[in-house]
Structures are given as structure tokens and as C-alpha cells.
Chain A
Amino acid sequence: MSEAAPTDMNEVRGRGRPKSRVLQASWDVFARTALLGCACFSILITALIIGILAYETSRFLAEVSVVDFLTGLEWNPLLGEEKHFGIWPLIAGTLLVTLVAAIFALPIGLVTAIFLSEYAPARLRSVLKPVLEVLAGIPTVVYGFFAVIVITPSLQWLGKLVSGEAVFGPYSAASAGIAVGIMILPIVTSLSEDAIRAVPKGLRDGAYALGSTRFDASAKVVVPAALSGIMASYLLAITRAVGETMIVALAAGGLAQLTILPWEQVQTMTAYMVQIFLGDAPATGVEFKSSFAVAGILFLMTFLLTFTGYRILARFREEYE
């Protein structure tokens, strides 16, 4: 402060400083209430999401029976004479893409995390960390473009090389899955690394004192100790993969079919929503309403995954803090 410090309480009052403890305390209560109001906004958002999805789903289920929706194995609302609204092909498509992404990203992510926290020299770390941060900051539509322009042609070439036939078409679950895998790789790595770093140094020292190599210490002590955190990171990454939209809309295809063959094209739940909202269906039809029901199922899936992930994370924090 540039002016001279006040020496006299009267002078302080004269400058318009708060006059009493009571006034200050009431300001405190006011601020607390206002901030609480802002905090409640987040609860309002959740309530609105659940409310809107439940309402629209109920309107959809007034036209299509719940049993058909939840047990049907055929999903073709836009093509054909008879419309079928069985959710399973969409769920299977989502799970197939997620599975490919998980097979790609989860082991690589874990190994990278172990390497970063246990092995990597500081200089290598200072290269790898920014690389992962950049990967984490790239918009998903860019990964979608990458899938279309690099991954799909590479897979087509590889498929032809191995089997002699064109097994991969212009759309495939594998192409989208690999792109999603690259997208979730930084999430797995950074969350797993946090978990591994949270393991107390004493445990490592103990392992080394018993004659462990770094591999022994990592594989037999550190990773088991951080297992819950690693599991949580897996779940949170899988949540992102399940909800990923732009990559699958570009690379996975538009045909909802029940398959486990990664070179087939599949439609995920999010890709179906993109198809509807881009205007393939009239806004009042049952197809349009079906996208809200699909969104409801998607919300439920991601909610369960995140909830479980954070429960595990909370438990693992308690262990070491």
C-alpha cells in the first residue's frame, strides 16, 4: 500500500472500512449462500439431464415396447419396411469399439506410466510428458480425421497383405477403436502414473533392500499397491471411449449390426445420435425420439462407470493419505 498505514481506529472507520463484526459476519453468510447457489447449479444440471432423458425416453417407449427396445437384436429405424428398435446392435457396436481401444490403450498406458514413474531418466521424461499432454489436448474430431486418412488405409493395406482379400472396407470398428485408443492413452497414462507415484517410497525401498531389481519392485510391489488407482484410471478412460462421438461418427460406419469382427463396420450409440441429429430423421418421428432413449442408456452406462471409478479412487486415496 502506498499511503501511510492507519494509526487510529477512527481514521480506519472514516475510510469506510467495515464498521462491525456483525456486518462482516452477515457478509460472510451472504457470500456463503451465493456460492452455495452456484454449487447447486451443478446438481440442477444433473437433475435436468436425468429429467429430460427420462421424459423423452418415456415418450419413445409409448410407441415402442420396452421389451423390444431392451431385448431386440435388430436396429434399423431408418431403412426398410418394418422398423426395429432393439438396442443391442448399438450397445455391441459401442462395446466393440471400446474393446479395441482398451486392448490398444490399457496395456500401453500402464507400461508407459510404469516407465515414466519408475524407469525414465529425467530428460526422457521431459520429452514424453509434453507429448502426452499434446495428445490429450488434441480435439477428437482430429483423431477422427486421422482414422479416416491414415488408420483405415493402413488397415486396408495390412488386411490385404495378410489375407490377400480386401477385408477392411472404408469403415471399420478397428479403425475407430485404434483412434479412440490413441485418444484415451494419455488419460490412462497420467491417471495411472498418479496412482503409481502415490505409492509410498518406503514400499519401494523395502523391495530394493530385499534385493529386488527395478522390474521386481515395479511388478511385484508398486503396481499391486497402486492397483486400485490403475483400475480407476482404466474405468475413467473406458468411460471416455464409450462416450466418444466424433471419431466413431467418422470412422466406424453407419450400419448397426451385431458383430464381434473388428473389420466389420458398426454403429455405436453416439454415432446413431449423430446420424439422427444431423437431420436424417424428421424431428417429430419415433426415430428422433429413439435418439433420446439411446442417450439415456449411454448416460446410465457412463454414470455407472464413472461412479465405480471414483469409488475405487476414493478408497485408494484413503489408503495412503
Chain B
Amino acid sequence: MSQPPGQHLDFRELVERGEPRQIAKRVRLDRGFYLMCMAITMIAVIALLVLLGSILINGIPGLSWSFVTNFTSRDPGKAGILAPLAGSIWISAICAVVALPVGVATALYLEEFAARNRFTNLLRLNISNLAGVPSIVYGILGLTLFVRMFGLAGTTQDPALEIGGETYAMYYDVTGEPLRVPVENRSVTPTLETGTIAYMQRVLDGPDGELIFTDHWEPIPLTIVEDSANAPLANGVIPAVDAGLPVDYEVEKPWYYVQFPFGQTVLAGGLTLMLVVLPIVIISSQEAIRSVPGSLRSGSFAMGATRLQTVSRVTLPASIPMIMTGAILAMSRAIGEAAPILVLGVALFITDVPQTLMDPFTVLPMQIYNWSARFQPEFRALAASGIIVLLFVLLAFNAIAITIRQRFSRPLQ
């Protein structure tokens, strides 16, 4: 900006020169406003410093490697953040895989193909509006659309359609060992008789005398006894009173297992967050595509390229770095979102890393919310440690975004 003349005048000088007092007053006002601006602007800096400071002071003592590798626990001393961390990474990956192609395609259509008509205006207005919809509302959409599928296909506990999974009914025998009986689906109650083949988990003796549960399930014929008080204490013996309804159902899921409706699974969570970030991806991609100089397009057309050729070989490659930067920033928004995931009704107490798209999950912000909402200072300290992990993940994302921007952005002129 050019130096405005007012800045070089000192008001004392003006007064000495006998300039009208009004000018001196105005210059003094300008100085005063400048100082006030400085002070007010510092509020943002102070807010950030206090925010980060309070988190570091509360969170650093609880940070350790075991905090990152442990599952959550009711004992704050043992609680860790592994499941939410893994869940967050799963969710943002799914979110990126779906939101990026759809978002970039929409942006390409709007910037390169769309005619100037009322429909295009409607599209633009709609996207602006979607960007302003509170994320909790997207949670409601995700709950109805993905988790429950409008209630048209069974319930989340008893899905109408399952592909690839093997369902087992769970029982406990008199020794307390879990037994599995294969069934068609989760609404079937098997009839147990003496001689029915069930499966029992093979347990090995560890080197220090502890038990190691293997993934191997061995067949064992059941014995149903009427008199549970005098039942022989042996594997495979089930009192008749316990042989009715199974304790639980378990589904052995290969990686390609899918159920409809999705239920509170990784896939449903990722798709819900995709809804939240899609408008952001579209808007940032539009800006990226718009920043490609028109001369590049004109050059391409002048050499006889069609619109598709121009888009796929000139515009898109030129705007990819900016698109990727925007996409990563959108993903970091997705990683920080708790509200839409909360609406899906995910379980808070997860003690497993999600292995397939159809596994239950939780995410970092949910776990942080859960810990922050408690009054005990131990849990609030855990929340602060969790926030440090979350901010670290975000920092990593932003570092990637900056690297991409610097690595691939070439001057286009």
C-alpha cells in the first residue's frame, strides 16, 4: 500500500506550525485507533496462547506411549486412545475416498461445463447453503440414510441383508467357557440338544502361566443337563435353563463383509462425514480450478482440443496441488467433527481397532468430549492428552498439505 500522507505528519509538528487544531485532533485520533487496533488484535493471539497453554499444562503429564497404544478404560490411569485414533484415521480415509472424486467432479462441472442458467444458479446456491448447514444436521441425515437406511431393511441389530459374514450364537457352558453355534442370521434361535456340535475357543498356556486365547475354534459335542445344580463341571455342558436364548450373536467378518443397513459402523461414519465436508471440498476445488489462468485453456482450445481434453490434460493437472491442499484441509475438518458422529449413536466404549468397514468405531473428538464432560480432574487431564494427540494428527495433515503445495505448485504464467 502506498504511504498515506497522514502517517508522516507528527501532530506536535502540526500544532507548532499553527495548522488548524482539527487536523491535530484527527491525527491524534488516528494514532489512538492504531493503538486500540493493536491491543484488540492481540486478543486473538492471547486467546490462542492461553488455549494451547492450558491444554499443554493439563495434557503433557498424561502423555506416554502407553496412552497411545492402550484402549479406553474406566480406570483413568490405564485409559488410552488407540481405538478412537484408529477410528479417526479410518473415518477420514473413507471420507476422502468418497468426498474427493464427487467434490472435484462437481467443481469441474460448475467451473468448466455448466451453462449460465437458472439450474446452475440453483446448484451454486445449494452448495453455499449446504456449507452453512450445522454438522449435527448432517448427523441426522447419516443416521437415517446410512445407519438405519430409513428402517426399510431390517434393524441395525438384525440386518435384512448380509454379505460374506458367518453368524454364530453365543452360549456359556458350566465352566464359563464361551461356545459358538453357527446360525443363519441374528434372528435365529438354535435348538440345542445333547450331541449338537458347538465350537470352543482353543486356549493355550502362555510361558508365564497366563492363558492365550487363539483364533482357532474347535468343535465339541454339547451335553444338555436338566439338573444344573448337580451338573458335571466339564466343557460343553450346558444347563437346560441356559440353552434357550443365546447370550449374544457374533459375526465373523471377512474384509469384504457388508450388511444392510450399515449400522453404527466405520462405513456409515465415513459416509456421514463425507456429507459434512463435501461442500467444503466443492468450494475449495472451485477456487482451485478458477485460479488456473484462462490463457492455458485458450491455448488448449486453439490447438483443437475438445473441452474434455482441455479439462483432463490442462485444467485439472494445473489445479491439482490446490485441490489437494483444499481436500486435506477439509479432511482435517472431518477429523475434528464430533457432532455428526455422536448423532449416529456410536458406542463410547470400544476396545478393538476396527478391522473391516463393518466394525464399530469411535473417533478422537467423541472420546475427548466424553472425557471433558466428566467432573473428575483425572478424566479432564485425559481429555487434554487426547486433544494433544488430535492436534498432532491435524498438524501432520497440515504438514502434508503444505508439502504438496510447495512441491507441486509450479508458476503457471
Contact = CB atoms under 8 A, between A and B. Distances in A.
Contacts, number: 272
A82 to B, nearest CB: 27
A216 B47 contact: no
A143 B383 CA distance: 12
Interface string A187-206: 00100000000000000110
Interface in B34-92: 34, 36-38, 40-41, 43-45, 47-48, 50-51, 54-55, 58
Nearest to B50: A150
A263 B122 CA distance: 43
B48 A134 contact: yes
Q: Is the interface of B mostly helix, strand, loop or mixed?
A: helix
B368 A145 contact: yes
B258 interface: no
A231 interface: no
Nearest to A27: B308
A145 B383 contact: yes
B338 A140 contact: yes
B153 interface: no
B236 interface: no
Interface residues of A, number: 93
B136 A32 contact: no
A112 interface: yes
B26 interface: yes
Contact of B37 (A114, A137, A146, A250): A114
B351 interface: no
Nearest to A139: B336
Interface string A111-146: 110111011100000011001101101111111111
Given A42-B278, A48-B145, A243-B137, A212 B338 contact: no
A69 B300 CA distance: 60
A146 B5 contact: no
Interface in B259-287: 275, 278-279, 282
A49 B306 contact: no
Contacts of A141: 336, 338, 365, 368-369, 372, 387
A182 interface: yes
B132 A239 contact: yes
B332 interface: yes
A42 B130 contact: yes
A182 B47 contact: yes
Contacts of B223: none
A148 to B, nearest CB: 6
A216 B25 CA distance: 12
B34 A307 contact: no
B185 interface: no
Contacts of A243: 132-137
A53 B130 CA distance: 15
Nearest to B348: A278
A24 B23 CA distance: 69
Of the listed residues A146, A212, A250, A303, the one surrounded by the most CB atoms of chain B closer than 10 A to its CB is: A146
A148 B1 CA distance: 43
B55 A214 contact: no
B376 interface: no
B275 A45 contact: yes
Interface of A: 24-25, 27-28, 31-32, 34-36, 38-39, 41-43, 45-46, 48-49, 52-53, 107-108, 111-112, 114-116, 118-120, 127-128, 131-132, 134-135, 137-146, 148-150, 170, 182, 185-186, 189, 204-205, 208, 211-219, 236, 239-240, 242-246, 249-250, 270, 273-274, 277-279, 292, 295, 298-299, 302-303, 305-307, 309-310
13 contacts: A24-B309, A38-B101, A39-B114, A43-B122, A45-B275, A52-B144, A52-B145, A142-B390, A213-B27, A245-B135, A250-B373, A277-B143, A299-B134
4 closest A-B pairs by beta carbon, nearest first, are A243-B134, A139-B336, A306-B132, A38-B105
